[in-house]
């Protein structure tokens, strides 16, 4: 059985789309998935990447694209009332349901639907209270989004992701290999199916290719 680590931040619409599509992509395989919440902003900052929301025309395109992808995939997706937003309350709420930094699929799906269905404000106080109630039976004793343990788990998850080379979400790690993005799912499936391409030189060749850009001063 293969163990897959799914790195996600609830702020990412592509994470929602990949979450919904993953069971279909992995159908027929023996696997387990560890859902690992991470802070996308920290991953982007590490590489000086403003993200799609930091480039106005790309922001507009991204919102159109993900809405269409949801339509094409059959996954309900409505942009929240404000985006981007600070995802820390949602990440910490989810990790209040964890002992080790991983959350189960029910918790991940509940928080993702909170953001990506209905077009509401993800940080509305009343809705956050409802979300906490929906997850109450998943909470670890004495934990909530304000507790120190979820904050520590989020820091540890994000640092581990950075060390593993994760630069964005959704990202999937299996056998030390990283697959990034919704459109990386077919490649992940091919690897899990034993495609001989992954035993050849091309995977490692990407790392060896010289850059034609001048060095940073």
Provide the CA 99 distance to its chain's centre, in angstroms.
19
Per-residue pLDDT tens over the stretch 32-80: 999 999 999 999 999 888 888 889 999 999 999 999 999 999 999 999 9
Contact by Cβ (8 Å): 82, 43: no
Q: What pLDDT sits at residue 217? A: 66
Residue 217 lies in a domain: no
The dihedral region occupied by 133, where left means phi > 0, alpha psi between -120 and 50, and beta the remainder, is alpha
pTM: 0.96
Residue 210 domain flag: no
For residue 125, the number of C-alpha atoms closer than 13 Å in the C-beta half-sphere is 0
For residue range 67-112, what is the model confidence (pLDDT) as tens digits?
A: 999 999 999 999 999 999 999 999 999 999 999 999 999 999 999 9
How far from the centroid of its chain's Cα atoms is residue 105's Cα?
Answer: 12
For 119, half-sphere exposure in the C-beta direction (CA atoms, 13 angstrom radius) is 3
Residue 150 sits in which domain range?
2-203
Domain count, the chain: 1
Q: CB–CB of 179/191 below 8 Å? A: yes
Whether 51 and 14 have beta carbons less than 8 Å apart is answered as no
Mean pLDDT of the chain: 96
**How many residues can be counted in the chain?**
217
Classify residue 48 as exposed, middle or buried by CB count within 10 Å of its CB (0-12, 13-18, 19+).
Answer: exposed
CATH code for the domain in which residue 142 is found: 3.40.30.10
């Amino acid at each position: 059985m293969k163990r897959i680590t799914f790195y996600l931040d609830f702020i990412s619409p592509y994470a929602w789309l990949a979450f919904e599509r993953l069971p279909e992509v992995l159908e027929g395989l023996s696997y387990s998935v560890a859902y690992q919440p991470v802070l996308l902003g920290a991953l982007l900052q590490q590489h000086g990447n403003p993200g799609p929301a930091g480039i106005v025309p790309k922001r507009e395109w991204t919102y159109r694209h993900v809405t269409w992808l949801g339509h094409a995939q059959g996954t309900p997706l409505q942009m929240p009332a404000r985006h981007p937003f600070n995802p820390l309350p949602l990440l910490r709420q989810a990790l209040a349901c964890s002992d080790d930094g991983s959350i189960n699929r029910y918790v991940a799906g509940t928080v993702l639907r909170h953001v990506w269905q209905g077009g509401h404000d993800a940080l509305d106080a009343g809705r956050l209270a409802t979300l906490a109630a929906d997850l109450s039976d998943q909470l670890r004793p004495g934990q909530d989004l304000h507790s120190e343990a979820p904050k520590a788990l989020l820091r540890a998850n994000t640092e581990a992701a950075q060390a593993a080379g994760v630069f964005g979400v959704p990202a999937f790690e299996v056998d030390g290999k990283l697959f990034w993005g919704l459109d990386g799912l077919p490649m992940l499936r091919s690897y899990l199916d034993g495609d001989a391409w992954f035993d050849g030189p091309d995977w490692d060749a990407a790392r060896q290719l010289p850059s034609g850009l001048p060095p940073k001063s």
